[in-house]
Amino acid sequence: MTWEITWALILGFTLSAVIQAAVRRSVVVRLLGNDRPRTLAVAAGLGAASSSCSYAAVALARALFRQGADFTAAMAFEIASTNLVIELGVILALLMGWQFTLAEFIGGPVMIVVLAVLFRLFLRGRLLRQAREQADQGLAGSMEGHAAMDMSVQRPGTFASRLFSPEGFTAVSHVFVMEWAAIIRDLVIGLLVAGMIAAWVPDSFWQAFFFSGHPVAAKVWGPLIGPVVAIISFVCSIGNVPLAVVLWKGGISFGGVVAFIFADLIIAPILNIYRKYYGARMAAFLLGTFFAAMALAGYVIELIFGGLGLIPDPATAKVPDSGVSLDYTTWLNIVFLALASVLIVRFVRTGGVAMLRMMGGAPEPAEAEGGRGLRNDLIPARAPRHPGVRVAVTGSAAGRRDVRDGCRARGGAGSAPGRLARPGAGRRRPRRQLRVALQEDDGRRRRLRRLRRRGRHGPHHGVAGQA
C-alpha cells in the first residue's frame, strides 16, 4: 500500500504547497468575521488551501479565533483543511476510486452546512465567551509552531511571477517538507494499523460488525459506527485513508466510510486538545455537534450516491498486497521521488532545518483584546500588547518603524524597557507617543517634498537633490 500511494502523496503535497505559497495568512482573518453563508464558503476555500495535518488545522483554527475570526467560520476552516484538500482527493481516487473522492468533496460542504445550523441553534453566548477566555490563555496543544508559520510569498506581483520567483521556489519547498513532517507520524501509524488489520482480522468479523448481510441495517449503522471507530483508532488526517480501505473491504457502508474519514477531527488526542483550547464543556459540545454533522453527511452521501447508482461494489475492493513490480507505479514513483529530492535540497539550503525544529513550538501570543482588529504585520511578535491601544497604520516604512518604536516605549519612570504602560493612569502615554510619531513622519515627508520642489525649480538643484 505504501508503494502504491507514494507518488500520489508527493503529487498532492506539491500541488498543496503551490497553493499555500500563494495564499497569504494575513488575508484569512479579515475574511472570516461572521458566520454568513458567503463567509463559510470563503472559509472552506481558504481551508482547502491550508495544511492537511489535523493537529495543525486545529491549532490554526484556534489562532484565527483568537485573532477575531468567527468561531463557526474557524470551525468551517478547520473541517476544510483536513477534508477538502488536494492530497486527500488524490489518494482516495488511487486507493478507493473516484466515487470516494467525489463523495468527500460533496460531503465536506454538507458537513459544514449542518455544523453551522447546529451552532446557530445550540451554541450559547455564555459557552462561547468561556471558550474565548480559555483560548486566550494560549495553552499548548500540538503542531503549534507549524500552524503559526506563514511561509507564503510576500513579494507583490501576479500569481505566476511570485510562484516562479526564487522566493516562490523556496516557499513551495518549505511548505512541502513541513507538511510531510506534520503528517508522517499519522501516515505511518495508519499504514501499519491498516496492514495489521488487513492481515490478521478476518473479513467475517467486519461483515458481522457492520451488518453487511442486512443492507438497510448496514446503511443505518455505518455512518454511526464509522466516527466511533475513528475516535478509538487515534489516526487522523490522511493516515486514516488506508484504514478506510480495509473497512470498506470488510463491509462498512459507503456513507460509513465517508463519516469515518470525516471523523479525523474528533479522535481521542484531538478531543483532549479541544479541552485545552476551549474548555471541557466546549470540547463536549464540539464532540456532539461534529459527530452529528459527520453522521448526517454520511447519510446524505449514502442517499445521493445510492440514488444515482454511483456506489461501487465492495467486492471489487482489494488491499494492495502484490508487492513491488516494474509497472507504471514504479516509474511514477521514480519521477516524483526525484521531484521530492529537489524540494528537500532547496529546503535544507534555505534554512528549513531550523524551521523544522520549531514545528512543535508555542502558541501565537494573544493579541490585544483577543487580537481583534490588530495588524500583526506592523507589530513585532515580541512587543507586548496593550488592551487600551489599537494600531492600524499605513504609510511609509519609516512611519511604521516609528510606530513600532512607540509600541515598545516605556510606560513610565522605572518601567522595564520594551514594556507598555499599565492599564489606568498611564494609558494615554503610549497613545500620545503614537500620535507624535505619526506627526513627525508627516513632517519629514513635507520637508522632503519642499526640498525636491526647490531642486526642480530653483537654482540649487544639485544641493537639493543631494539633500
**Residue 388 forms part of a structural domain:** yes
Closest CA to 11 of 416, 452, 335: 335
**Residue 141 forms part of a structural domain:** yes
Q: Which of 257-271, 320-334, 342-356, 435-449 has the lowest mean pLDDT?
A: 435-449
State the Cα angle at 441 between 435 and 443, rounded to 5°.
Answer: 105
Task: Name the percent of the chain lying above pLDDT 70.
Answer: 70
Closest CA to 193 of 244, 231, 143: 244
Is the pLDDT at 2 greater than 90? The verdict is: no
Residue 10, pLDDT score: 87
Task: Name the percent of the chain lying above pLDDT 90.
Answer: 27
Q: Which of 61-65, 128-132, 147-151, 255-259 has the lowest mean pLDDT?
A: 147-151
**Residue 364 forms part of a structural domain:** no
Domain closes at, from 303, 331, 357:
357
Residue 88, pLDDT score: 85
> Is 405 found in the same domain as 297?
no
Strand (E) positions, 314-403? none
Q: What's the grid cell of residue 76?
A: 468551517
**Residue 366 forms part of a structural domain:** no
Q: Which of 114-118, 135-139, 251-255, 284-288 has the lowest mean pLDDT?
A: 135-139
**DSSP secondary-structure letter at 137?**
T
* Non-local CB neighbours of 114 within 8 Å, separated by 6+ positions: 292, 293, 296, 297
Is the pLDDT at 84 greater than 50? The verdict is: yes
Is the pLDDT at 366 greater than 60? The verdict is: no
Q: What's the grid cell of residue 27?
A: 488575508
Domain of 416? 374-466
pLDDT tens-digit readout, 177-190:
888 887 788 888 88
pLDDT tens-digit readout, 129-148:
999 999 888 777 666 666 66
Is the pLDDT at 459 greater than 90? The verdict is: no
Cβ count within 10 A of residue 385:
17
> Is 203 found in the same domain as 344?
yes
Residue 451, pLDDT score: 65
**Residue 236 forms part of a structural domain:** yes
**Residue 235 forms part of a structural domain:** yes
> Is 310 found in the same domain as 399?
no
Count of domains forming the chain: 2
Q: What's the grid cell of residue 89?
A: 482527493
pLDDT tens-digit readout, 394-403:
333 434 444 3
Confidence grade of residue 369 (pLDDT, cut at 50, 70, 90):
very low
**Residue 398 forms part of a structural domain:** yes
Residue 425, pLDDT score: 41
> Is 300 found in the same domain as 160?
yes
pLDDT tens-digit readout, 197-245:
888 888 788 888 888 888 899 999 999 999 998 888 777 777 788 888 8
